């Protein structure tokens, strides 16, 4: 229930941000008109367009596999974790095995992504400017910087708590506490990831 409420709140916040960039004067009539467009949009084709016009242009060819690995593992971890949480069933079987394997892939790709991209997301504009000029990227907005580091911090919390749950040294109570931290970190990284993608696309004019 908390996850659903947080996702709904994020949807209304981001949609209101988008509404403020439109010439419309009333939010709810604008939203009513946008929902059918979202439902009827071919998201597969839309994703292909974004991949070609945004992803390929932004990342060098020898680094694209890192971000594809990060995105694909992140997508599966989110879908598997929250799907089983919604039906109130613990992960088991092949779904759990893939969750663990892709969790390791996510950890590796996240570390590499931070090493490659951290210089682009800094509070010091003088440090970020040379990197941005070198790759023809614009100045980062404060929301992009903040959401990037929230995503990274939540990702590391997920990795650490996942490792802790595999250690037999912790008591049952400690394991339950770690599991709750893992769940809330998962919700946080989901919200941060959605908002980060939104602001990146909107600020790039997509």
Two tokens at 10?
């994020």
**Measured between alpha carbons, how far apart are the two ends of the chain, in Å?**
32
Contact, 194 vs 10, CB < 8 A?
Answer: yes
Task: Tell me how many helices (H) and strands (E) the chain has.
Answer: 9, 0
Query: What residues contact 3, with CB distance under 8 A and at least 6 apart?
Result: 82, 85, 86, 187, 190
Task: Select the more confidently predicted residue: 36 or 68.
Answer: 68
State the average pLDDT over residues 35-54: 70
DSSP character at residue 54: I
State the average pLDDT over residues 174-203: 88
DSSP character at residue 119: G
In terms of Cβ atoms closer than 10 Å to its own Cβ (0-12, 13-18, 19+), residue 162 is buried
Two tokens at 173?
């109570």
Query: What residues contact 128, with CB distance under 8 A and at least 6 apart?
Result: 119, 120, 121, 122, 139, 140
The span from the CA of 195 to the CA of 14, in Å, is 8
* Range 81-106 burial, b when 16+ CB lie within 10 A, else e: bbebeeeeeebeeebeeebeebbebb
- What domains are there in the chain, each with its CATH number? 65-206 (1.20.950.20)
Matching residue, tokens 């892939």: 105
- The answer to which of 70-79, 127-136, 196-205 has the lowest mean pLDDT is 127-136
- 125 — pLDDT class (breaks 50, 70, 90): low
The span from the CA of 8 to the CA of 176, in Å, is 27
pLDDT at residue 134 is higher than 70: no
State the average pLDDT over residues 137-144: 67
Count, residues in the chain: 206
**pLDDT digits over 143-187, tens only?**
888 999 999 999 999 999 998 888 877 788 888 899 889 989 999
- 204 — pLDDT class (breaks 50, 70, 90): low
Q: Which CA distances in Å does 204 have to 53, 76, 78, 99?
A: 11, 26, 25, 32
Q: What is the pTM of this model?
A: 0.80
- 133 — pLDDT class (breaks 50, 70, 90): very low
């Amino acid at each position: 229930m908390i996850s659903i409420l947080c996702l709904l709140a994020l949807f209304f916040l981001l949609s209101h941000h988008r509404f403020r960039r439109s010439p419309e004067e009333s939010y709810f009539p604008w939203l009513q008109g946008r929902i059918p467009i979202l439902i009827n949009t071919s998201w597969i084709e839309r994703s292909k367009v974004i991949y070609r016009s945004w992803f390929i242009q932004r990342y060098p060819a020898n680094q694209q596999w890192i971000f594809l690995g990060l995105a694909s593992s992140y997508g599966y971890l989110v879908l598997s974790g929250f799907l089983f949480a919604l039906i109130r069933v613990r992960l088991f079987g092949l779904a759990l095995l893939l969750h663990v394997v892709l969790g390791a892939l996510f950890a590796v790709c996240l570390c590499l992504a931070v090493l490659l991209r951290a210089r682009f997301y800094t509070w010091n504009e003088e440090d970020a400017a040379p990197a941005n000029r070198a790759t023809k990227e614009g100045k980062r907005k404060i929301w992009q910087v903040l959401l990037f580091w929230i995503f990274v911090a939540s990702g590391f919390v997920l990795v650490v708590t996942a490792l802790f749950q595999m250690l037999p040294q912790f008591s049952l109570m400690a394991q339950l506490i770690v599991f709750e931290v893992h769940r809330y970190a998962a919700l946080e990284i989901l919200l941060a990831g959605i908002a980060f993608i939104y602001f990146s696309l909107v600020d790039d004019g997509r």
